Structure 1
Amino acid sequence: MKRIWNHALRALTLLGASVATAGAVHAATATPAEIRVDYAYYSPESLVIKRYGWLEDEFKPDNTQIKWVLSLGSNRALEYLNSGAVDFGSTAGLAAVLGKANGNPIRAVYVFSRPEWTALVVRKDSAIKSLADLKGKKIAATRGTDPYLFTLRALHTVGLTRDDVEIVNLQHPDGRTALANGQVDAWAGLDPHMAAAQVDDGARLLYRNVDFNTYGFLDAREAFIQQYPQAVARVLKVYEKARVWIVAHPDDAAKIVAEESKVSLPVAKLQLQRTDFSHPVPGEQQIAALKSAAPILSAEDLVKPGTDLPKVIDALIDTQIAQPVVTASRGQ
C-alpha cells in the first residue's frame, strides 16, 4: 500500500511539474490583451501601419487591441517606454543609448530607417555662416533626442561645448516656431518639421553631417520581449511589410506622411528623399556607428561617470529577432 501511495505521489508531482512547465511556456508565448505602440512623424512606417490598420488586422484573430500613442520626439518615446505607457517606441539610436545607460529597460529590435533627419537650421536672413558663429547664441533643441546630441557633436568639431551656447529646451515643432519668430538664433531641426522650415520658411541648413544622424530604432520593453516573444516578431512582420511598401510606393507614402504630419506634399517628399530604408535588421553596422558616437555622452556628462557605454550598446542592440522576420518576408 505504501508503495502504491508513493507511486501516486510521484505521478502527481510529475503531473504538477508538467502543468507548471506548460503554463510557463504559455505565459511566454501568449498574446497580450493590448499592445501599445507609438507613432511618430519621423517614423514613416508607423504612419503607414496606423493608416491602413495593419497591426489591428494582424492581431484581430487574437482579440488583441492596439493602442496608438503619439511620440513627438525620442525623449517622449523613451519616457513612454520607461513608464510602460507603450510597449514599442520609435527613437533615434544615440538617444536610445542614452536612455539605456540611464536605466531604461529597452532593446532595439528593428531599424525603421537611416535618415538624415536632423541638421542645424538658421533663418534665411541669418548672419550666422558657420558653427563657430554659434558661440554665445541661443539654439533650440529637444534634450535627450538625436537633434540635441547632433548639436553637441557638431559644436565639438569646432572646439565648442554646450557651455559656449545657450540651449533652449523645446519640443521639435516649438523649436521651428521659435526660430521663425526670432526667439532663438538656430534650431536643431527634425524632419518633417525641418523640411517644412526649408520649404515653407526658406530656412537654411547651417550644418549637415549624415554620419552624425543615428539610426531610427523601434525599441521594445525588455519585459514585453521576454513575456511575448511571438507578439514581438509579429509586430516586426508588420513593420517590415510597411517598410517594403514605402520603398515600392514612395509617392503614396509621401501623401500619408503629409496628411498625418499635417505638412505639404513637397515637405513630405523632401523628408523621404533623404531617408534610407534599406537596412532593417540591427547589427554590427549600427553597433559600430553608436560606439563611434557614444563618447559625446560621457564628454558632456550625460551619463554617470564610469558608465561602460560599449557594454550598454551591446545590450541595447538585439540582432536576433528581426533577422528571421525580414528573411521570411523576402521569401528566402
Structure 2
Amino acid sequence: MNQPKGKPANPKDLTNKSRRTLLSRSVQVAGLAGVAALAPLYLSASSAFAASTSRELRVGYQKGLLSLLKGRGTLEKRLAPLGVAIKWIEFSAGPVQLEALSVGSIDFGDVGEAPPIFSQAAGSPLVYVAATVPRPSVEGVLVPGSSAIRNVADLKGKKIALNKGSNVHYFLVKLLEKAGLHYADVTPVWLSPADARAAFERGSVDAWAIWEPYLAAAQNTLSARILADAKGVVKNRAYYFSSRDYAQKNSDVLNIIIDELNQIDVWANANRGALSAELSGVLGLPKPVVDIMVGRSSFGTEAITKSILAEQQLIADTFLDLKLIPKKIDVKEAAPPWLAV
C-alpha cells in the first residue's frame, strides 16, 4: 500500500500484507532496536484489524423453522463475508429464551406473542425485530374426545392446563371473554406442555390450552377434540427479537437472518409436503402428525410496524388488568431502533 510522502501509515488502514512489508523494511533500516520499537505498533494494528472484522450472532431457537435454517447452513454462508460467527442454542420454550436474552446469553430468538410482555415488564432489554403473519389455527383448547364439554361456555368451573405466560395464556383470556365468561370462572393449572399432556391423558384436568405441534399430536394419538382454536379470537403471531444494544450495532446482521427466515417461509408455503418430511425429523414426530400441523399453518415474515406494536399493547393492557404483570408498560419502548414511533 503506497502512502503519500511525509504521511505516516495509519495502523487501522493496513492490510496484513502491508503490515508485514512495513515491519520487514523497518527491520532492514533500524535493526533490532527498530523491531522492538515497531512490534507494539504491529500488534496494536493486528488487534484493531481483528476487532473490526470479528462479530458473533448467538441464536436462541425452539424446534421449528429456525432449526431448518440451522440445518441448511445458508445463514453461515451469508454472514461469513461480514466476519460474523454464529452460535446456535436450543431452548424448550420462548420465556426461557427471553430470560437468556435478559442475562446477555443470546442475541436473537423466536417467541410467541405473550412472553415478551412479561419480559418487558421485568425490565428486559428486548426489542422486536420482525413478526410472523397471523397464525390463529395453530393454537387451541383441547378436550377429551368423550368429554361432555361441547362449547367454550361449558368451561365454567373447569380446570384448564396451560403454560403460564405463553401465547395460549392470552388466547384463553380472550376466548373466555368472547364466550361471556371471566378469567376467574375457570381454574388455570400451570403446567409445561409435557406435564400438561400427562395430566390431560390421565384426566387430572378438564381441558388443555396448547399450541403446535402438541395440538396435532394430541389429536392424533389421544383422540382429543379441538373445542376452539384462535380464529376470530387472537392473531397469534410469533416474534423475532433481539436486545436493543445488539440491534443498534448489528442491524445488517439482523436484516440478513430475517431475510433468510422469510425465504424459508416462502419455500414452506409452496412445498408443504417437503416441509412436513423435514420437520418430522426435526421434531421427532410421525409425518402424519406433522402433516396436520403444516396443513393449518400460515407462513410469512413481516416488518415490525406501529399497528403490530399496538396489537402487543392490547395484550399488555389485558395482562395488567388481570394483575398478571406488576406495572403498565409501553410496548413502543421495545420497538426496533430503525422504526420511528
Instruction: Quote the offset at 1:217 in angstroms.
Output: 0.6
1:315 and 2:333 matched: yes
In the alignment, is the contact (CA less than 8 A) between 1:87 and 1:221 conserved in 2?
yes
Aligned counterpart for 2:121 among listed residues 101, 111, 114: 101
Cα deviation digits, residues 42-65 of structure 1 (max 9, x gap)? xx4212102212223233445643
Aligned counterpart for 2:106 among listed residues 74, 78, 86: 86
Match of 1:185 in 2: 206
Q: TM-score, normalised by structure 2?
A: 0.76
Aligned counterpart for 1:142 among listed residues 144, 160, 163: 163
- Corresponding residue SS for 2:114: helix
Aligned equivalents of 2:77 and 2:193: distance in 1?
A: 32
- Superposed, 1:47-58 pairs within 5 Å as 47-58=67-78
Match of 1:245 in 2: 267
When Rg is computed on C-alpha atoms for both structures, the one with the higher figure is 2
Aligned equivalents of 2:289 and 2:237: distance in 1?
A: 21
Instruction: Quote the offset at 1:106 in angstroms.
Output: 0.8
Higher relative contact order (CA 8 A, sep 6+): 1
In the alignment, is the contact (CA less than 8 A) between 1:36 and 1:69 conserved in 2?
yes
Aligned equivalents of 2:141 and 2:182: distance in 1?
A: 15
Instruction: Quote the offset at 1:79 in angstroms.
Output: 1.6
1:72 and 2:92 matched: yes
Cα deviation digits, residues 239-263 of structure 1 (max 9, x gap)? 2222222223222212122211112
Aligned equivalents of 1:178 and 1:67: distance in 2?
A: 36
Aligned equivalents of 1:183 and 1:191: distance in 2?
A: 21
- Corresponding residue SS for 2:240: strand
The percent identity for this pair of structures is 26
Q: What is the one-letter code of the residue matched to 2:256?
A: R
Q: TM-score, normalised by structure 1?
A: 0.78
- Corresponding residue SS for 1:212: coil
- Corresponding residue SS for 1:35: strand
- Corresponding residue SS for 1:72: coil
- Superposed, 1:1-332 pairs within 5 Å as 31-32=54-55, 34-41=56-63, 44-61=64-81, 64-116=84-136, 117-210=138-231, 211-305=233-327, 307=328, 309=329, 312-318=330-336, 320=338
In the alignment, is the contact (CA less than 8 A) between 2:244 and 2:337 conserved in 1?
no
CA root-mean-square deviation: 3.0
Instruction: Quote the offset at 1:279 in angstroms.
Output: 4.7
**CA 1:133 to 1:229, structure 2 compared with 1: closer, same or farther past 3 Å?**
same
Q: What is the one-letter code of the residue matched to 2:269?
A: V
- Corresponding residue SS for 1:184: coil
In the alignment, is the contact (CA less than 8 A) between 2:152 and 2:179 conserved in 1?
yes
Count of paired positions: 295
- Corresponding residue SS for 1:124: coil
Instruction: Quote the offset at 1:145 in angstroms.
Output: 0.7
**CA 1:265 to 1:79, structure 2 compared with 1: closer, same or farther past 3 Å?**
same
Aligned equivalents of 1:62 and 1:293: distance in 2?
A: 38
Gaps of 5+ in 2: 1-9, 11-48
Q: What is the one-letter code of the residue matched to 2:98?
A: L
- Corresponding residue SS for 1:214: coil
Q: What is the one-letter code of the residue matched to 1:234?
A: I
